[in-house]
Amino acid sequence: MTLAHHRPKQPDLLRQQVLAAAVRLAVEKGAEAVTLDAVARRAGVSKGGLQHHFPGKRALIDALFDRMWQRFSAELAAEMAADPEPRGRAARAYIQVGTRGLPDEEGDFWRAALTLMLADPTLRERWSAWVRQAWQADLAAEADVTTLLVCRLAADGLWLSDLAGYDAVPPARRADVVQALVAMTYAKETPR
């Protein structure tokens, strides 16, 4: 009998343990390393135990992406709800949430999700669909969508440099860049 039979059943803890193992594999070895066998070994569970929670690799990857996405979406919604100015609201929320520093564990989830998203067209399409929907809010508010797009892409650059672990922009200058991007979202031009 394995130790697993003697452990108290804690399905939520086991799910988190398995997701954390998948994250570590994706961050350390790339998307192709995230196999059910490798994740089970890394998590210290049987493959059957893993499959009880995640029937296949697709379910595991979707769960990892969903976890990251739910947190990101909740933070965006909170930022947007707190912003009284409709023009550029979605872009400001994206800038604020995307350029916040991430704790190591959360950063690893983002790195893993990005690694998996780059390798998986289904995840890329899910992300793209959200981006298209988010911009509808700014389009409806008659914001300068070209400026907002520039702001979002600049925020993506800061976010990706954080995830990649290179410090191209000193912290004080970085704060100035974020502040300038946010200020740009208040432009009163109409769409072109």
In a domain, 77, yes or no: yes
Please tell me the predicted confidence (pLDDT) of residue 9: 66
Euclidean distance between CA atoms 133 and 90, whole angstroms? 10
In a domain, 159, yes or no: yes
In a domain, 134, yes or no: yes
pTM of the shown model: 0.77
Please tell me the predicted confidence (pLDDT) of residue 137: 73
In a domain, 67, yes or no: yes
pLDDT surpassing 90 at residue 13: no
Please tell me the predicted confidence (pLDDT) of residue 131: 76
Place of tokens 């595991």: 60
The model's pLDDT over 14-31, given as tens digits with 9 standing for 90+, comes to 888 898 898 888 888 888
The dihedral over CA atoms of 46, 17, 116, 58, expressed in degrees to the nearest 10, equals 50
In a domain, 109, yes or no: yes
The dihedral over CA atoms of 71, 125, 42, 11, expressed in degrees to the nearest 10, equals 50
Euclidean distance between CA atoms 187 and 58, whole angstroms? 42
Reported as a pLDDT band with limits 50, 70 and 90, residue 119 is confident
CATH code for the domain in which residue 106 is found:
1.10.357.10
The Cβ of residue 166 has, within 10 Å, a number of other Cβ atoms equal to 9
Please tell me the predicted confidence (pLDDT) of residue 190: 47
* Domain interval for residue 171: 3-184
Average pLDDT of every residue of the chain: 82
Reported as a pLDDT band with limits 50, 70 and 90, residue 143 is low
Backbone angles phi, psi at 95, to 5 degrees: -60, -50
